[in-house]
Amino acid sequence: MRLFLAVVLVAVGSPVFAQTAAAGNPLAADVDRLVTEINPQVVAWRRDFHQHPELGNNEVRTAKVIADELRRLGFEVTTGVAGTGVVGVLKGGQPGPVVALRSDMDALPVTEQVDLPFKSTAKAQWNGQEVGVMHACGHDNHMAILLGAAATFARIRDRIPGTVKLIFQPAEEGPGGAEPMIKANVLNNPKVDAVFGLHVFPFPAGSITYRSGPLMASADTFIIKVKGRQTHGAVPWGGIDPIVIGSQIVLALQTIVSRTVNITEAPAVVTVGRFTGGNRSNIVPEEIELEGTVRAFDEDVRQNIHDRIRSIASNLAASAGATASVEFGLGYPVTRNDPALTERMVPTLRRVAGADNVRVGPLTGTAEDFSYFQQQVPGLFVFLGVTPKDQDWTKAPQNHSPLFFADESALPVGVKVMTNLALDYLFGLPGAPSKGGK
């Protein structure tokens, strides 16, 4: 993820359009002023969330803080959505489309090693043991940024042409909170026309990285169980050895990507991370188990890989007189930015963050359940850099590390990006229908 493609933007339409796109929505100057005014509160929110992290589907305190703040700002608030989710709706003073902004809320079972005045010392139960809890993926920043956007919208409400819906989602890290929120009708009443999200990442602080089309991979797990026939290790012909069959399956799985996936169009990964079986050196076991992950950037490729894994496992096992079962744990779909929406909103990103700070990024094998929202309505998801500018961002600790650190200088950039994406969309900029149209 250290190589970037150059971004070339071609002006579209008349000189008037170009000037409008450069100027942004008529509230842009007010947004800049308000974001500066409220930044101390945004920092305070972020530090509070960071110091009091909660694991997925247990974001009770977090949800209460968010709901209380949204009510104070005049939003219509719904709590308990898909568990601990919070939704805030603000109707502008003028008619128009409905735009949604999303933030995740959950933390990770990680013990923080960053020495901060607001360092997390929280503990929780995870997989039957006590663990440290940390916002090691930066969701504390996301929540503070979205509350900052909420505070900004509240002060310019009468001039907003449309409706803003803020979605605070539980359990992004798993088991996944976006899909249950969608099933709870979060994208309706009022019906959302477009959705935006961001994620902090160890790129240079204040920079924005985006990509049209596929951005983040789908992520699925699989378990293959091979059942043979147990026998003495000195008499292997007296049984059916599942270890040998499992080894053949591991090797054959590597031909899926190398021989059946057009990697020039859509990269993919098939990895076996666990091979379990047997308990003595002189016993051929009855059964072995393989566990792995599949990453893909195209839904057809994703399904084809699943089919190939089933076929390889079952046929190799059958050829040796064994049986094999394959179970998939379906993870998140491909995070795919709507191309038309992306092209439309890139001028907003460049205007807000500065043209030199906006980059087209590479595909990344990480996954995000924001993808579920994008399957329902056009969506755009971007990365906000949070590595201090005096540090080498290529060597910064990654998300999920106990040393992950977010430079708070990026917070106002995040608030401006999210606020202006929503407003430019509602005002029909750039090149979209006039305000009030859909």
Catalytic residue set:
332, 408
HEC string of the chain equals CCCCECCCCCCCCCHHHHHHHHHCCCCHHHHHHHHHHHHHHHHHHHHHHHHCCCECCCCHHHHHHHHHHHHHCCCEEEEEECCCEEEEEEECCEEEEEEEEEEECCEECCCCCCCCCCCCCCEEEECCEEEECECCCCHHHHHHHHHHHHHHHHHCHHHCEEEEEEEEECCCCCCCCHHHHHHCCCCCCCCCCEEEEEEEEEEECCCEEECCEEEECEEEEEEEEEECECEECCCHHHCECHHHHHHHHHHHHHHHHHHHCCCCCCCEEEEEEEEEECCCCCEECCEEEEEEEEEECCHHHHHHHHHHHHHHHHHHHHHCCCEEEEEEECCCCCEEECHHHHHHHHHHHHHHHCHHHEEECCCECCCCCHHHHHHHCCEEEEEEEEECCCCCHHHCCCCCCCCCCCCHHHHHHHHHHHHHHHHHHHCCCCCCCCCCCC
Distance of alpha carbon 178 from alpha carbon 198, whole angstroms: 14
**Interhelix angle for 411-426 vs 28-51, to 10°?**
130
Cβ-based neighbours of 249, under 8 Å, separated by 6 or more = 224, 226, 290, 312, 313, 316, 317, 324
Q: Which two tokens stand for residue 15?
A: 């000189």
Amino acid, single-letter form, for residue 357: N
Look up residue 47 and give its amino acid: R
